[in-house]
Every structure is written in structure tokens, then in C-alpha cells.
Amino acid sequence: MPESRPSVATLFDADPKAALKHHFGFDAFRPLQEAIVGDVLSGRDVFALLPTGGGKSLCFQLPAVMREGLTVVVSPLIALMKDQVDAMVTAGIPATYLNSTLDAEEARSRLRGLHQGAYRLLYLAPERLGLPHVMGDLAAWNVTRFAIDEAHCISEWGHDFRPEYRRLAELRRSFPSVPILALTATATDRVRSDIVASLELRDPSVYVASFNRPNLSYSVVPKNNTFSELVAFIRKRKKESGIIYAASRRQTESLAEKLTKAGISALPYHAGLEPRVRSYNQDRFVRDDVSVICATVAFGMGINKPNVRYVVHYDVPKNLESYYQETGRAGRDGLAADCLLYFSAGDAAKLLGFIQEKDERERALALEGLRAMQHYAESARCRRAVLLGHFGETLPEGACTGCDNCLSPRASFDGTVAAQKLLSTVVRVRQASGFSVGLNHLADVLVGRETEKVRAWYHDSVSTFGIGKEFGRTYWLAIGRELVRLGLLRQTPGLRSVLELTESGRKTLLERTPVSLTAQPPAPERRRASAPGASTGPSADAPFDEALFEELRALRKRLADERDVPAYVIFPDTTLRAMARDLPRNATELRSIAGVGDKKLADYGDAFLSEIGAARPPMAPGPALAGPKNGEQSEPEA
């Protein structure tokens, strides 16, 4: 999209709600946004943790158009910069970015604009701050605030640590009076503290929103005939966009090829593709030219596409932080979306092999993360409660209406005998050798495998050797992990962890307390969970004219292609649904719809009103209200 530079004079200092409607088309803030914007406008340092889709970007974009000076946004991905700048320019806000995709002439043009004060927002990658003259340039551009997006990348304790983010501490030393806003969608307590310390935030306001995404449904399915199940899953969502995450580059290409042969438009994305191909594939997905992107975890951070209706993990992620962030790319518009994980213990074992190649500190962190991920995948508890609990948040009982374990509770069985056998084996092997062992070794003893270690430690002579032959090792491994989740066994930290009885486990063993275990989950029928409370507005789930909605989507796509921007930059799906529901008759009614700001009303209002008018049943003629001219604000609705 050719960059335009609206005059700064067209922007105004107003109360936040008036500015919100004028520039972004929304009548109300999302949770915490208004308070964060207020603190940013007052010049405070701020740390904000908002879930994906919670509106982090608006927390620096709105202050940027309400105050003089330049807001510098540090962003990790070039694709994110272009997406957000396209969206800002479309909304009439002067924004730009500087990165390696620009040719020399365009870069010089943007630099001239920055020296002339023509922009309110500048996006930079963290690596650029290390280039010669950049700090000097920033000092000349009247920078009034820094916004650090994806701030968890600065923490070595985070799941996506990036060494170049450590340079950001220089911002405080070079610009001691300029406030800093740090934003992230995922961070444990330890990572939050590290972000605040690393950026040297001064007495920051700290905002931590709920991690709960009620519009997302979570399901875990055992790997079994996985590809044909995946095809059936996608075909039920044939007009919708989705991301499929796979563990390897080769698998992303294989999945994309197989899906294409099955009649599903799909492309691969991974770091090994040529940059030109990778960018092309991402653009086609973002612009709705293909419905599915098959990707490694290299894809997605900062992708603004709001209408991703499902995220599938074909392989188990490395930890719950990654899983939360990756599933968070679904349903950013607040409408219902599905998160499906295909799981096998074998996949977890492969990851364990990779973990063994890391250094000692990285091994400990990676192993801790993998165990939490495996417990999530195998647990019969509410998926949402397990996920939120990992981030220190408690979900009220019965609050989940969107996970497989709550919608279709797994069958349980009397596992007292199995539990007694495994708990007894933990005691017997320790008595025989004087030390505890890991779960794999315990499973070998239970099924009577005479491995080298079993014989060397004389565990083939303990009384429980072979008492579990009626089941395979996989069964006993699953039972062992569930006893850990139930608190009857404790798994010690470290790569060579062992299992030990807890006090509860010792009591259960001695008193033969009944133990209820859960059956392994079947491959359930796919169904979309209802998500009350998930909508972005009071009527987001109300009925709408689906045929008109598709016509409005087609119109949006034509307009977006003409302007060389993603379709959602024009209007998101939620706004089109509201149009197809309310059938606005004039500019005033169209402006009342969430997502229709004054600049977009002036640029696109006539085209959408015409499309809606053609679909509306004939009515008696009446006076029509003219829409505002470019740059004017329409009168408020009475």
C-alpha cells in the first residue's frame, strides 16, 4: 500500500473515548485499556500483560494521536510492522516503519518525514537500535514515549528469549526522561519481574489481565489416523482461516502438499524457505487468498489477522507458554474459535531427546516446560483451568464452557489396583537399591523387562517385578503421570528425575484408599463450543444475514486488493457481521457500528451502504442523511 502522510493537524487532543471513536470506530474500551492509556498519557512507565486479542496495540496507538511527539514502537517482526502501519494509515494516522525491506529512496523519504515531524508512530526492530546514528536520530525526532511490544523476548526465563532485546536497556540510559510502555501477551511471574528489571522501568503501573480467552475452545485428541481426521476437521470449516503448527520444516511442506491434493488451499511457512517465498506465503494467508498455513513456530508472533478460526497443533508444543501464545492467534476478533492438539507420548519423547542436547540450565527449564505441557495434554481436568493455573490464575468452578473435558467428561474407572501396584513398586525398588528411579524404569519392572539396569540393580528380584504384565509399558507410563497429577507421586526436577511417594501417596498405599483414574480420551466428534461472554460486543453472536455477510466480505476483499492491504485492515469480520445484522441505511447508522471510524466512513462508507442497500428489502422512501466529508466528524446519533 503506498504510504500517505495525513497532516498532523488533522489529529486532535480529545478525551480518550472521543478519540477512540474518531480514529478506531469503537465506543468502548476493552478491559484495562482505558486505565493503561490514561497512565501512558500522564507520562508513567507501564507494564501491561494483555491476552492476544486484548488490544495491546491500541494502548500506544491512541496516546500517539492524542499528544505531540513521536511514539517509537520496538517490534520483533517486519510483517507486524507493515500490518500495523497499513492499519494506521488506513485509519488516517501518520505512521511509518524503518527496516531492511525498504529501498534506499523510500528509506530516505521516510527519514525526511521523521526529521520534519510528519509521523506520530515509528516502528523499529530491536536490532536496528544497535546501528550507527540511530540513537542520535531518535534524539532529533522528539520521541515522547517508547513502546516495547512482545516484551517477554527480553527475559532469559521466557519461552522466546531474543538476545537482541537485551539492548533495549540502553533506551533508559540514553533517554532517561522518556517513559516506556512494555507489553506482552504471555509471561509467568518470574518473567514479568525480569521484564521490569531489564527495561529499568521506574515505579511502573502494572496491569495484568486475565489469561482466559472464553471464545476459544480447547481439545486434545490422541494421534490415530491423524491426517484424515484433520481433513475432516478443516472441511467443516471450509470458508474459514486456520493455522496448523508442525514440529519440522519438512512436515509443514508435506502437510501443505497433502492438504492441497485433498482440495484444501494450503501453503507452508518455515524459516528455511527463501525470504521471498516465505513472505509471499504469509501474505497470501493474511489476505485470505489461501485458507490454511502449515507452519513451524517461526510463524505467527505479531500476526494481526483477526479472523483465524482454528489453530491445530499437529505435534506437541515444547511448553505451555508457547502453546498459549500459539493458540492465542485464533479468535483475535472475539468470535468463537477452536484450538486442537494432536498428542502422543511418543512426540513428547522426541522432544525429550532434543532437550538432552542442551546445556544444564537450558535442560532444566526445557524439561520443566515439557512436563507441564504433557500434564496438560493428558489431564482429565478442565483444559482452561490447567492452562490458567500455569500462569497463576484460578478459574471459578463451572466457568468453562469450551473444552473437551468439560463438554464431554472422560469416563473414569476404579484404578485402585493399578495405583497400588505402581506405588508399591516405587517403594520396593528403593528398598532394593537404596535410591529412587524414574518412571520408565518403574514401567520396565512392572511389565517384567529384564533390561541391563533392572538386572544390575537387582530389581528383577523385587516382589512387584512383572506384576503388571497384563498391560504394556505405555499404559503404566500414563498411570504414573496421572498419579503425579493426583499428588500421590512427586517427580523430582532435572533431566534424570525420579519418582517418590508423597505423604498422600504413602497414606493411599498403606490404607488401600480407593483411587479413581480416567480413561484415555477417544477421538471425539468435533464440535464448536459455545462461548457465552466471549463476544467483543453485546450482539456479536446475534443472528445476521449470512448471504449479505459473504457479499460484504467479497467487497472488502476487492477494496483491500486495490489498496494492497490485508482485508481486515478495511474492516474486521465483527464489523461486517454487525452490518449484515443491523442493515444501516445511512452514514449516521453506519458510524454507530463498532469498527467504523470517521476516516473509514469517509473512504468506504458509500461502497458498503450501496452493497447493503442492494440486499435490503424495498421500503418507503424517506430522507437520507449525507455522510461526513473527508476529514469531518459526523453528528452523534440522537
Count the neighbouring beta carbons within 10 Å of the beta carbon of residue 235.
Answer: 11
Cβ atoms of 52 and 152 closer than 8 Å: no
Asked if the model's pLDDT at residue 6 lies above 50, the reply is no
**pLDDT value of position 633:** 36
* Cα separation, 312 vs 153, whole angstroms: 24
* Cα separation, 449 vs 447, whole angstroms: 6
Closest CA to 110 of 11, 4, 9: 4
Say which range, 261-265, 453-457, 633-637, has the weakest mean pLDDT.
Answer: 633-637
3-state secondary structure of 237: coil
Say which range, 161-165, 382-386, 497-501, has the weakest mean pLDDT.
Answer: 161-165
CATH topology of domain 546-615: DNA polymerase; domain 1 (1.10.150)
According to CATH, the superfamily of the domain at 8-208 is P-loop containing nucleotide triphosphate hydrolases (3.40.50.300)
Asked if the model's pLDDT at residue 460 lies above 90, the reply is yes
The residue-averaged pLDDT of 278-289 equals 90
Residue tagged 539396569 (cell numbers): 453
Phi, psi of 118 (to 5 degrees): -80, -10
Asked if the model's pLDDT at residue 306 lies above 70, the reply is yes
The residue-averaged pLDDT of 517-534 equals 46
Q: How confident is the model at residue 12 (pLDDT cuts 50, 70, 90)?
A: low
DSSP 403: B
* Cα separation, 4 vs 145, whole angstroms: 23
Asked if the model's pLDDT at residue 74 lies above 60, the reply is yes
pLDDT in tens, 168-218: 888 999 999 999 999 998 888 888 999 999 999 999 999 999 989 999 999
Choosing among 1.10.10.10, 3.40.50.720, 3.40.50.1860, 1.10.287.70, the CATH entry for 413-518 is 1.10.10.10
Asked if the model's pLDDT at residue 280 lies above 80, the reply is yes
**pLDDT value of position 158:** 65
Say what percent of the chain tops pLDDT 70.
89
DSSP 180: E
Closest CA to 303 of 276, 279, 334, 319: 279
Say which range, 91-100, 403-412, 532-541, has the weakest mean pLDDT.
Answer: 532-541
CATH code at 216-410: 3.40.50.300
pLDDT in tens, 546-589: 889 999 999 999 999 999 888 999 999 999 999 999 999 999 99
Cα distance from N-terminal residue to C-terminal residue, the chain: 37
Q: Output the DSSP codes for 406-447.
A: HHSPPPEEE-HHHHHHHHHHHHHHHHHHSS---HHHHHHHHH
Q: How confident is the model at residue 627 (pLDDT cuts 50, 70, 90)?
A: very low
pTM of the model: 0.75
Domain boundaries, the chain: 8-208, 216-410, 413-518, 546-615
Residue tagged 528383577 (cell numbers): 460
216-410 and 546-615 agree in CATH topology: no
Closest CA to 72 of 155, 146, 164, 161: 146
Amino acid of residue 611: E
For β-strands 241-245 and 95-97, DSSP reports them as unpaired
Asked if the model's pLDDT at residue 132 lies above 90, the reply is no
Q: How confident is the model at residue 617 (pLDDT cuts 50, 70, 90)?
A: low
**pLDDT value of position 539:** 42
**pLDDT value of position 545:** 87
Per the prediction, the chain carries an average pLDDT of 86
Q: How confident is the model at residue 396 (pLDDT cuts 50, 70, 90)?
A: confident
Closest CA to 580 of 608, 620, 538: 608
Residue 271 is placed in which grid cell? 524459516
The residue-averaged pLDDT of 36-64 equals 93
| Total residues found in the chain within this entry | 638
**Could you tell me which residues are beta bridge partners of residue 240?**
none
Cβ atoms of 488 and 508 closer than 8 Å: yes
Q: How far is CA 267 from CA 36, 203, 262, 293, in A?
A: 38, 46, 13, 5
Say which range, 77-91, 139-153, 392-406, 581-595, has the weakest mean pLDDT.
Answer: 77-91
Say what percent of the chain tops pLDDT 90.
59
> Helices in 11-66 by DSSP H: which ranges?
16-24, 33-41, 58-66
Asked if the model's pLDDT at residue 108 lies above 50, the reply is yes
**pLDDT value of position 537:** 38
Cβ atoms of 256 and 244 closer than 8 Å: no
* Cα separation, 214 vs 30, whole angstroms: 14
